[in-house]
Structure 1
Amino acid sequence: MNEEITQPQSEQPSLGQILKTHRENADISLATMATHLKLTVLQVQRMENDEYQLLGPTTFVKGYIKNYCRELKIDHTPILAMLPAPTTPEKPVDMQSFSRRTEKEANDSRLMIASYIILAIVIGSSALWWWQNSMPIEEQTSNINVENSIMSEQQEQAAQSNIGASQQQVQEINNVALPQSEQLSALPSGNSTINTTTTAPNEANNSSTIVMLFNDESWVEIYDAEGEKIAFGVKKAGYEMTLTGIAPFSVVLGKHDAVNITLNGETVDLSAFPKNRLAKFKLPLAE
């Protein structure tokens, strides 16, 4: 009895065998069926050999079987019920691709943030450069004038005291030189061969003369070689300034293109300096 029960069960055809039997009964070749299903002959053979794991995901396999049954005009419901359940889960593949996509999106997000930061730095630097170049010269020099106002008053007081001391020294020299001139005038005419020598200050030989003609209002600041400020402040248009001191001179001009400068009678060329910017240079200019 057991052998009679198990023998029919072992002879039950599989899903692939059922499809193959229906195809052969319909007198349809393997190649023709593959053409109708838009599959390869190998894929149809795997379907009839129950090799479903080689055909792709279960969803695709079910679609192939439905189309197969439709071509043979048979009901696909009982045949699909015979399809075995997939032995391996298919979701981990999707989860892996999703995790990769998430990681890629995170990398893209970090790259975009870095790009935004770099763009903000570039825009900020450009705005700062534009603001510095567009600011008028008067505004650039206003802070310098405020800082030098107190110093200028002190230097004016010192200059006045130096002038008073110089006048006093000249008066003392004249008082000393007067008796000597009287003694020389009292000598006989035969002693007229006596020579008198006067020494000129060495500083006069080392000094240089700067002449500045201001065609427009401009701020100026000049130091001599000893670090003494000999000129500063805003000069009006048409003003001509003559300075004498020991070279080299450190010069700062607000509108250098509006000032004509000569040093010891020679014209100074300032065309190499950018316009609408403070010009800082030394006289004589370095070659």
Structure 2
Amino acid sequence: MTPDPSADNENASRSPGSRFREARAAQGLSVEAAAARLKIPVAVVEAIERDDYSALGAAIYVRGHCTAYARLLGLAPDIVDDACRQSRSAPPPLVAMAPSTRLQRLTDRLARRAVYVVLTGAIVLPVIWYATQEAPEIARVNLSPLDVPPGGQAPLTDIAALIPDGESAPARQRGEADHPVVASLAPFYAKPAAADESAADAPTEVAPDWLVLSFNGPSWVEIFAADGTRLEQALLGPGSERRYAPGQVARITLGNAEAVEVRQAGRKVDFSAYRRANVARFTVSSDGTLAPVGG
């Protein structure tokens, strides 16, 4: 069969997009149906049929989409070449860059090195200066605690003795006006001064009806009088003992109740009913009877 030259001339006069559109309409396909068969967006099919190949991207995408569309519609391969020729755009103009001179390259290199030298000096020089400075001399101060009475014989502590130079300034006399003291940071339950504790633990004559607390181990104790005055609040060690006259004590709290023995009028008192988690809290009436706090 001899090809019809008039048909070829007619196809050449029409754009590839119109030929795609007429072939699709002749087969009764809608744009959506053609896009679904090609598995491409509808916008791509519409761009091909209106010869808007710039919307398809690079030339490789134009050729791929047009080849698949022509194969679907049974069109000749020459329509793909026509579409690709129309999609070609002028290449972007080349802009000649002025070549840098040797002097300019040398200037840039020196500028980078100068910045490096400045940053290095800003970091290293302060460190060298600080390392070369002499350490300040540590003042030698004699200290004494506040909890030692002015007339006591507690020795002074010389801070300079802690400096490993083998020298120590002689301790100043306690009577000097410029002698500094240090406040004690001991907790509120610290043991009382040695003089007070020795006086409290000193053996005294015990009346038959007195309340006696004997400590077999360390225990925190808090004791209040009938008028709400705190008689004692301290951490007592094993071997300690406290004695109170009838009516002198109203409320007692023992932190380690298992380590404390309570005697009233010479008899051991069972206060286990007032103990919770090894902490006992109870009140003492004027006749020596124990009762729970708040009861």
Tell me which protein shows more helix as a share of its residues: 1
Between the two structures, name the one with larger relative contact order (CA 8 Å, sep ≥ 6). 1
What interval of TM-score do these two structures reach, taking the shorter chain for normalisation?
0.3 to 0.5
Q: TM-score with structure 2 length normalisation? A: 0.32
